[in-house]
């Protein structure tokens, strides 16, 4: 996780996904680093899908959920 964080800014969700740890564990780790003054935080703007791309987003979500690869994880 430290290696990923040293390369670029990462969201908590990205850190959780890459490390496989729960959000609570990642937040606890970040709190420890922040208490020592070792973390630089920044607010990122949320990406909003334009109305014209919503059908594409929904299709991508459905195909990802129904793909054989995601079935193996469950």
Q: Average pLDDT for consecutive 10-residue bins of the chain (74 residues)?
A: 85 90 94 90 65 74 69 52
Q: Does the residue 50 lie in any domain?
A: no
Q: Does the residue 29 lie in any domain?
A: yes
Q: Decide: helix, strand or coil at residue 61.
A: helix
- CA–CA gap between residue 2 and residue 11 (Å, rounded): 13
- CA–CA gap between residue 5 and residue 54 (Å, rounded): 31
Per-residue model confidence (pLDDT) at position 9 = 82
Q: How many residues does the chain have?
A: 74
Residue-range definition of the domain harbouring residue 18: 1-42
Domain count, the chain: 1
- Single pTM value for the model: 0.54
Q: Does the residue 36 lie in any domain?
A: yes
Q: Does the residue 30 lie in any domain?
A: yes
Per-residue model confidence (pLDDT) at position 59 = 82
Per-residue model confidence (pLDDT) at position 46 = 62
Q: Does the residue 68 lie in any domain?
A: no
């Amino acid at each position: 996780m430290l290696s990923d964080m040293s390369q670029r800014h990462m969201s908590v969700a990205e850190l959780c996904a890459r490390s496989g740890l729960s959000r609570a564990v990642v937040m606890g780790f970040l709190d420890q680093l922040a208490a020592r003054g070792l973390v630089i935080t920044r607010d990122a703007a949320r990406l909003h899908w334009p109305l014209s791309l919503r059908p594409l987003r929904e299709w991508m979500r459905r195909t990802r959920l129904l793909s054989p690869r995601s079935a193996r994880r469950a």
